């Protein structure tokens, strides 16, 4: 019995293997075949019942050797690995393939051997691979044939074909796919699974043919003879019998194209759309090695010219040239080189755009003029946008190690010592990126220590090796043994996070469970390294910053091999457990007893960026106030691991504990009583139109972990039934790149007539719909959208990427949300719709992640999706966890309603959900009053404050009222506004000195010179009504009550000594401290440096800035001054750097 299913590449391999029948599934996880073992783990009970075995080998070499043992036991084995894994496995594969230990069964008079299939995932675009490998060459070197499926159906079905080839030839058989097929997928017809004999057997070793089993001389020479003369030649006849090669287009054409693998589909798509196949033939090669002479040669004999289209180097082209030479064929062949220029590139992969461009370049060679032009048009944003680089997840324990490595580097540099850090393969490979830069090289997996040892032999520098737990068990422990044996001075930091996290959280030998779900003993890394002879080894919790810091400093200066094991579970798996536990508690008790959050008091924040520079955490974000950018914490991303608070560079961080927590219960948004105002609409592109040849394409893009793949999943599930149609085909591909959150994820989906070819990736300018719940990511992918009759729907906000957070804006102004929206609107691109999806999801559900379903509902209401509502909602229910279905359906319908009513009417309908904030002036007056003592004349002081504000609004009219309120307020909190008149006149004067576009920046710089955020002022800012309003707007809707713990480390200069201590001050202590302005007189050295810095900056504004003539130079100087930020040492260091550059004495 068959049924249609939507499967991705890894699922297709497993489904194909189940239909073919294998006894053992093994290999090693690696992108693009990373999900392979996660899928197998989810089927562990089913596999156990069938007698199927699954093993995640410690390395690809282990898996390859296991395959040889399975063959000797008379069973069938499938092995999966990435391209670099094939390198690792090549020794064992070579020996196993030359050996022929199994006795064949005789079926219908023919020998049938146990099958071994090796699935390898190549990565032509190097999206997640350290080396741009081309596995075809290694397969050939190993005397292994390989099939190259081009579409999801072939990927599934050819697993059985590969098994059959191996069974008939006794050889290992490869199956080669690439990222776009592995991470993509489509709608395929699935059939019954083959029965498996799961019984254990007794083997009589006396029956073994040791000459065929044991590959040592002279047996290895005999095996070589057998391979060349007998076994490998069988492949030609078997492949000929299967007849997997296909020919398309004009059968008697004298010019042809030839291709293989996933890029064949893109080539055929180009040729179909350009009507080339009316004039030329197209040959599809199922296996580039070996080519089937009896099938291919007759085709080649009918040609005068042949165009070879393949990714990476010219492997297929070389095989065809050899074949032509062997058979005396005279044929004009082009591929990697054209007659008058470069051919299809040998680096990276191929795309619709590259193939189209090269076909245009071949028009003279092809002697054509009648084919359609494939020149494509795209309208992208037209400006360079900040990159969203992948980074470590919120709460990642590796960040804690890297932050301290950065600290260690500074500590050593102060002693004129440079630290060298050696990398390895894992999540921590990203440590070379900002803000850490803590990886100076990279070798093969598990070889970082050996690389470091090689450098250590000839250098004096101390060195540190980063190595993951999975890498340690893969091959890294041999590195440590090597270092011990060679007596190197080197420090290993083993990053034990309980997972093979980089590839999707597969278990390791230390996880105490295997992929079959069986409990296993923990293989303890500390005991292992000690037994290797390491005398100095310590396990540490990386969150214990100060202990870890001292341990690093102690270890790195010691002689010999030292090992630190940083032991903390991967944040993603840990947080998944936390969320599951919280859902259970809410289900059972209605609320959580308490939940912890962290926040930044933006009034106290100086925007020094130490928190982001030392942690790189994506949970940190950016907001704006009167002084420019400030750091903040994004509650939708932050996991409350508290590491950012441990820098203690400022008093801005606060811990908030909400009692009786529930994400929605305290909001006025009861979903059960919602009534949706929905209008009738017309679907823009129906299934009938698609079946008639008008392909439908949708691209979704955004930040990893924000629900992008949820949209793909919903569409995919809707395509299972395809509204009852069987004349259509569906394909998808999720471009994830590195398996990390907070990088970009882009999903491609397309529906076309089943007879059309369709590449996995949407052509530029080819998508009908572009959706993104992130404005920055959406704008960055605008080039995928058609130039006409297409719609892009973006949320009007974005997750601030590290590239912006780390940018001090000294060369040009950093991008802000307001500026990006202004730029988008100025373009006048009527394809783009901006809507506040995340804002309303947060108001309704307390989580912005539901924006993915809301944006799909919005697109549906505009008629941009060909499915009916019942189909989509049914697919949505299949795509979600039961606890998430109700909220996702509601968000989908709210998206429909927003599109139906329009944003303005939608917001008016639900305005009761929006918290009404007080006027900033009322808050400022309340704050100033609270700063006064009982005997102060509050009426006089408030009137004076109002007069100063009114004067500032007139005289400094380039600043907003809100910003001026904050600036004047801060001066009154600092010293009762004693210098505010001077500030206003100074700002007026500065406004005449600087260029118009620099007035706001110059005024901000000037305003900061009139206050010092000392302990007295900060005490008040910690009690500020502005802060209280922010807290009420967030936490009063999350629980019954909340408490705060302030994370503070005040500093006092007393009699020439600096005294610092940690304290979480209570409200009563702050209320007392904010009145102690007398300390500024009693302790004249206290913050004297800050006052001196302010004086120098103010002097430069009045006497130095006017000497700068060039506009860019003026902005640069002002921004340098603006970046004199932070508390104490941070501020002093920034000032020293700026004063040196500007030559301020």
Q: Are 9 and 62 in contact (CB under 8 A)?
A: no
Position 501 in a domain: yes
How far, in Å, CA of 300 to CA of 323, rounded?
10
Q: Residue 778: which domain range?
A: 671-908
Q: Note whether 463 and 509 are same-domain residues.
A: yes
Q: Point out the domain boundary residue: 863, 878, 908.
A: 908
What's the mean pLDDT in 31-36? 90
Position 1102 in a domain: no
How many C-beta atoms lie closer than 10 Å to residue 272's C-beta? Answer: 18
How many C-beta atoms lie closer than 10 Å to residue 454's C-beta? Answer: 16
CA dihedral 497, 502, 507, 511 (to 10 degrees): -10
Handedness of CA 971, 1003, 651, 630 (dihedral sign): positive
Tell me the pLDDT band of 378, cut-offs 50, 70 and 90. confident
For residue 740, the model assigns a pLDDT of 54
How far, in Å, CA of 620 to CA of 600, rounded?
9
Q: What is the DSSP string of 552-581?
A: HHHHHTSSSEEEEEEE---HHHHHHHHHHH
Read off the pLDDT of residues 673-730 as tens digits, 9 standing for 90 and up.
788 999 999 999 999 999 999 999 999 999 887 788 899 999 999 999 998 898 999 9
For residue 214, the model assigns a pLDDT of 87
How many C-beta atoms lie closer than 10 Å to residue 294's C-beta? Answer: 10
How far, in Å, CA of 1032 to CA of 1038, rounded?
10
Q: Note whether 561 and 627 are same-domain residues.
A: no
Region of poorest pLDDT, from 1-15, 492-506, 973-987: 492-506
Q: Note whether 227 and 286 are same-domain residues.
A: no
CATH number at residue 331: 3.40.50.920
Helix (H, G, I), strand (E, B) or coil at 1099: helix
For residue 506, the model assigns a pLDDT of 84
Backbone angles phi, psi at 1045, to 5 degrees: -125, 115
For 339-443, list the strands marked E by DSSP. Answer: 341-342, 420-422
How far, in Å, CA of 501 to CA of 100, rounded?
37
Position 991 in a domain: no
- Widest CA span of the chain, in angstroms? 111
Query: CA of 800: how far to CAs of 631, 777, 820, in Å?
Result: 11, 10, 12
Q: Note whether 348 and 289 are same-domain residues.
A: yes
What's the mean pLDDT in 434-445? 91
- Which ranges in 902-977 belong to alpha helices (H)? 903-909, 920-930, 938-955, 961-975
CATH number at residue 787: 3.40.920.10
How far, in Å, CA of 816 to CA of 982, rounded?
31
Q: Point out the domain boundary residue: 216, 237, 258.
A: 237
Backbone angles phi, psi at 740, to 5 degrees: -125, 150
Q: Note whether 560 and 592 are same-domain residues.
A: no
How far, in Å, CA of 306 to CA of 331, rounded?
7
In this predicted structure, the answer to whether residue 516 has a pLDDT above a threshold of 90 is no
Mean pLDDT of the chain: 93
Instruction: Report which of 521, 518, 524 is spatially closest to residue 55, judged by C-alpha positions.
Output: 518
Read off the pLDDT of residues 147-200 as tens digits, 9 standing for 90 and up.
999 999 999 999 999 999 999 999 999 999 999 999 999 999 999 999 999 899
In this predicted structure, the answer to whether residue 502 has a pLDDT above a threshold of 80 is no
Give strand pairing partners of 620: 633
List all residues 6 or more positions away from 943 whose beta carbon is below 8 Å from its beta carbon: none
Read off the pLDDT of residues 332-376 as tens digits, 9 standing for 90 and up.
999 999 988 899 999 999 999 999 999 999 988 888 766 777 776
Q: What is the DSSP string of 73-124?
A: TT--EEEEEEHHHHHHHHHHHHHHHH---PPPEEETTEEEPPPEEEEEEE-T
Q: Point out the domain boundary residue: 908, 937, 952.
A: 908
Handedness of CA 514, 518, 519, 523 (dihedral sign): negative
Position 1133 in a domain: no
Tell me the pLDDT band of 238, cut-offs 50, 70 and 90. very high
Position 1037 in a domain: no
Q: Note whether 122 and 73 are same-domain residues.
A: yes
Give strand pairing partners of 249: 281
Q: Note whether 744 and 849 are same-domain residues.
A: yes
Checking 382-385 for CB contacts under 8 A at 24+ apart, the result is 382/827, 383/823, 385/776, 385/779, 385/780, 385/815
Backbone angles phi, psi at 523, to 5 degrees: -90, 100
Helix (H, G, I), strand (E, B) or coil at 592: strand
CATH number at residue 411: 3.40.50.970
Read off the pLDDT of residues 461-474 as tens digits, 9 standing for 90 and up.
999 999 999 999 99
For 832-916, list the strands marked E by DSSP. Answer: 832-835
Q: What is the DSSP string of 1021-1053?
A: HTT-HHHHHHHHHHHTTTSSEEEEEE-B--EEE
Q: What are 1113's two structure tokens?
A: 């130079």
Q: Are 661 and 595 in contact (CB under 8 A)?
A: yes
Q: Note whether 649 and 580 are same-domain residues.
A: yes
Q: Note whether 123 and 258 are same-domain residues.
A: no
Query: CA of 841: how far to CAs of 451, 620, 929, 1029, in Å?
Result: 50, 20, 37, 21
Position 1130 in a domain: no
Query: CA of 695: how far to CAs of 352, 711, 751, in Å?
Result: 15, 19, 6
Q: What percent of the chain has pLDDT above 70?
A: 99
Position 812 in a domain: yes
Q: Note whether 511 and 580 are same-domain residues.
A: no
In the block, residue with structure tokens 């800050």: 1090
DSSP letter at 1048?
A: B
Read off the pLDDT of residues 760-776 as tens digits, 9 standing for 90 and up.
899 999 999 999 999 99
Q: Are strands 744-753 and 53-56 parallel, antiparallel or unpaired?
A: unpaired
How far, in Å, CA of 1031 to CA of 1025, rounded?
10
List all residues 6 or more positions away from 261 whose beta carbon is below 8 Å from its beta carbon: 148, 149, 150, 176, 177, 178, 181, 310, 311
Position 297 in a domain: yes
For residue 370, the model assigns a pLDDT of 61
What number of H helices and E strands is found in the chain?
Answer: 46, 35
How far, in Å, CA of 364 to CA of 776, rounded?
42
Q: Are strands 337-338 and 1057-1060 parallel, antiparallel or unpaired?
A: unpaired
How far, in Å, CA of 1120 to CA of 860, rounded?
49
How far, in Å, CA of 77 to CA of 93, rounded?
13
How far, in Å, CA of 515 to CA of 503, rounded?
14
Read off the pLDDT of residues 76-133 as tens digits, 9 standing for 90 and up.
999 999 999 999 999 999 999 999 887 888 888 889 999 999 999 999 998 888 788 8
Read off the pLDDT of residues 899-956 as tens digits, 9 standing for 90 and up.
999 999 999 999 988 888 899 999 999 999 999 999 999 999 999 999 999 999 999 9
Helix (H, G, I), strand (E, B) or coil at 184: strand
How far, in Å, CA of 1004 to CA of 984, rounded?
12
Number of domains making up the chain: 5
In the block, residue with structure tokens 């494509």: 376
Q: Exposed, middle or buried, 655 (CB in 10 Å: 0-12/13-18/19+)?
A: middle
Backbone angles phi, psi at 483, to 5 degrees: -70, -40
Q: Note whether 712 and 734 are same-domain residues.
A: yes
How far, in Å, CA of 433 to CA of 1045, rounded?
33
For residue 738, the model assigns a pLDDT of 54
In this predicted structure, the answer to whether residue 739 has a pLDDT above a threshold of 80 is no
Q: Are strands 77-82 and 24-27 parallel, antiparallel or unpaired?
A: parallel
Q: Note whether 530 and 649 are same-domain residues.
A: no
Read off the pLDDT of residues 847-905 as tens digits, 9 standing for 90 and up.
899 999 999 999 999 999 999 999 999 999 999 989 899 999 999 999 999 999 999 99
Helix (H, G, I), strand (E, B) or coil at 17: helix
Exposure on the CB side of residue 889, measured as CA atoms within 13 A:
20
Please compute Rg for the chain using Cα positions: 33
Read off the pLDDT of residues 188-229 as tens digits, 9 standing for 90 and up.
999 999 999 989 999 988 888 888 888 889 998 998 999 999
């Amino acid at each position: 019995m068959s049924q249609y299913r939507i499967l991705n590449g890894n699922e297709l391999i497993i489904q194909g293997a189940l239909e073919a029948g294998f006894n053992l599934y093994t290999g090693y996880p690696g992108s693009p075949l990373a999900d392979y073992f996660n899928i197998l783990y989810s089927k562990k009970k089913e596999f156990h019942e069938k007698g199927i075995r699954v093993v995640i080998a410690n390395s690809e070499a282990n898996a390859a050797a296991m395959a040889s043992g399975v063959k000797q036991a008379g069973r069938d084995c499938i092995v999966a690995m990435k391209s670099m894994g094939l390198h690792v496995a090549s020794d064992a594969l070579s020996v196993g393939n030359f050996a022929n230990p199994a006795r064949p069964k005789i079926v219908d008079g023919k020998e049938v051997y146990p099958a071994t299939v090796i699935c390898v995932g190549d990565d032509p675009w190097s999206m997640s691979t350290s080396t741009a490998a081309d596995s075809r060459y290694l397969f050939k070197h190993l005397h292994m044939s390989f099939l190259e499926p081009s579409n999801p159906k072939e990927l599934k079905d050819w697993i059985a074909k590969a098994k059959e080839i191996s069974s008939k030839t006794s050889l290992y058989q490869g199956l080669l796919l690439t990222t776009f097929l592995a991470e993509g997928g489509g709608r395929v017809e699935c059939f019954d699974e083959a029965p498996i004999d799961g019984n254990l057997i007794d083997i009589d070793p006396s029956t073994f043919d040791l000459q065929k089993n044991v590959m040592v001389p002279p047996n290895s020479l005999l095996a070589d003879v057998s391979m060349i003369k007998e076994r490998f030649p069988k492949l030609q006849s078997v492949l000929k019998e299967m007849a997997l090669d296909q020919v398309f287009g004009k059968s008697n054409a004298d010019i042809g194209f030839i291709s293989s693998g996933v890029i064949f589909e893109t080539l055929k798509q180009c040729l179909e759309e350009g009507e080339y196949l009316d004039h030329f033939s197209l040959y599809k090669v199922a296996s580039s090695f070996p080519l089937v002479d009896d099938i291919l040669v007759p085709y080649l004999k009918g040609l005068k010219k042949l165009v070879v289209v393949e990714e990476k180097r010219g492997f297929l082209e070389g095989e065809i040239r050899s074949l032509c030479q062997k058979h005396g064929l005279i044929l004009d062949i082009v591929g990697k080189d054209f007659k008058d220029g470069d051919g299809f590139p040998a680096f990276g992969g191929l795309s619709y755009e590259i193939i189209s461009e090269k076909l245009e370049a071949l028009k003279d060679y092809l002697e054509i003029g009648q084919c359609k032009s494939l020149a494509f048009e795209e309208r992208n944003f037209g400006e360079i946008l900040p990159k969203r680089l992948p980074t470590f997840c919120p709460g990642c324990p590796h960040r804690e190690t890297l932050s301290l490595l950065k600290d260690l580097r500074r500590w050593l540099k102060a002693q004129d010592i440079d630290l060298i850090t050696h990398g390895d393969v894992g999540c921590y490979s990203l440590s070379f990126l900002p803000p850490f830069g803590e990886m100076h090289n990279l070798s093969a997996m598990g070889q970082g220590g050996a690389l470091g040892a090689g450098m250590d032999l000839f250098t004096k520098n101390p060195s540190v090796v980063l190595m993951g737990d999975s890498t340690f068990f893969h091959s890294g422990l041999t590195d440590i043994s090597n270092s011990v044996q060679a007596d190197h001075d080197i420090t290993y930091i083993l990053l034990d996070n309980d997972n093979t996290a980089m590839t999707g959280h597969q278990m390791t030998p230390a996880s105490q469970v295997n992929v079959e779900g069986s409990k296993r003993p923990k293989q303890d890394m500390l005991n292992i390294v000690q037994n290797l002879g390491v005398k100095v080894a310590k396990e540490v919790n990386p969150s214990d910053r100060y202990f870890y810091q001292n341990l690093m400093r102690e270890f790195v200066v010691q002689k010999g091999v030292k090992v630190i094991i940083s032991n903390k579970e991967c944040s993603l798996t840990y947080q998944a457990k936390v969320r599951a536990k919280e859902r259970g508690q809410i289900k059972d008790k209605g609320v959580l007893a308490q939940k912890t959050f962290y926040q930044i008091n933006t009034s106290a924040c100086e925007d020094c960026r130490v928190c982001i520079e030392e942690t790189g955490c994506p949970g940190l974000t950016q907001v704006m106030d009167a002084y420019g950018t400030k750091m903040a914490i994004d509650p939708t991303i932050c996991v409350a691991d508290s590491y950012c608070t441990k820098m203690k560079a400022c008093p801005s961080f606060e811990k908030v504990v909400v009692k009786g927590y529930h994400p929605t219960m305290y909001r006025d948004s009861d979903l059960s009583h919602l009534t949706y105002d929905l209008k009738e609409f017309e679907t823009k592109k129906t299934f009938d139109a698609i079946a008639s040849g008008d392909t439908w394409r949708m691209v979704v893009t955004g930040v990893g972990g924000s629900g992008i793949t949820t949209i793909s999943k919903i569409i995919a599930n809707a395509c299972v039934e395809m509204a009852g149609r069987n004349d259509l085909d569906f394909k998808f591909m999720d471009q994830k790149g590195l398996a990390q959150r907070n990088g970009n994820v882009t999903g491609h989906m397309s529906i076309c007539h089943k007879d059309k070819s369709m590449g996995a990736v949407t052509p530029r300018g080819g998508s009908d719909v572009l959706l993104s719940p992130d404005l920055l990511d959406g704008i960055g992918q605008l080039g995928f959208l058609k130039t006409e009759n297409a719609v892009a729907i973006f949320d009007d906000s974005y997750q601030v990427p590290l590239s912006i957070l780390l940018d001090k804006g000294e060369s040009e102004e950093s991008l802000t949300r307001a500026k990006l929206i202004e730029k988008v609107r100025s373009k006048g691109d009527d394809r783009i719709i901006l809507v506040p999806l995340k804002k309303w999801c947060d108001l309704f559900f307390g989580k912005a992640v539901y924006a993915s379903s809301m944006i799909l509902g919005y697109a549906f209401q505009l008629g941009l999706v060909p499915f009916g509502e019942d189909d989509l909602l049914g697919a949505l229910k299949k795509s979600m966890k039961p606890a998430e279905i109700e909220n996702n359906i509601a968000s989908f319908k709210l998206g429909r309603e927003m599109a139906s009513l329009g944003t303005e009417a939608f917001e008016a309908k639900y305005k009761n959900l929006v918290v009404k904030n007080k006027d900033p002036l009322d808050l400022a007056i309340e704050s100033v009053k609270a700063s006064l003592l009982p005997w102060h004349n509050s009426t006089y002081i408030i009137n004076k404050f109002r007069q100063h504000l009114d004067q500032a609004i007139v005289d400094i009219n380039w600043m907003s009222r809100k910003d001026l309120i904050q600036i004047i307020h801060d001066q009154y909190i600092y010293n009762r506004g004693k210098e505010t008149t001077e500030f206003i006149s100074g700002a007026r004067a500065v406004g005449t000195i600087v260029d118009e576009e620099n007035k706001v920046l110059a005024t901000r710089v000037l305003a900061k010179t009139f206050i010092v955020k000392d302990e007295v002022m900060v005490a008040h800012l910690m009690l500020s009504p502005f802060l209280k309003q922010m807290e009420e707007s967030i936490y009063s809707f999350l629980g019954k009550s909340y408490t705060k713990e302030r994370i503070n480390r005040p500093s006092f200069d007393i009699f020439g000594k600096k005294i610092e201590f940690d304290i979480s001050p209570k409200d009563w202590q702050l209320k007392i401290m904010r009145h102690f302005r007398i300390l500024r007189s009693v302790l004249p050295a206290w913050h004297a440096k800050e006052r001196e810095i302010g004086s120098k900056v103010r002097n430069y504004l009045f006497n130095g800035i006017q000497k700068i003539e060039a506009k860019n130079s003026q902005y640069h100087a002002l921004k340098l001054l603006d970046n004199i930020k932070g508390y104490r040492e941070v501020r002093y260091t920034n000032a020293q750097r700026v004063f040196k550059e500007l030559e301020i004495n």
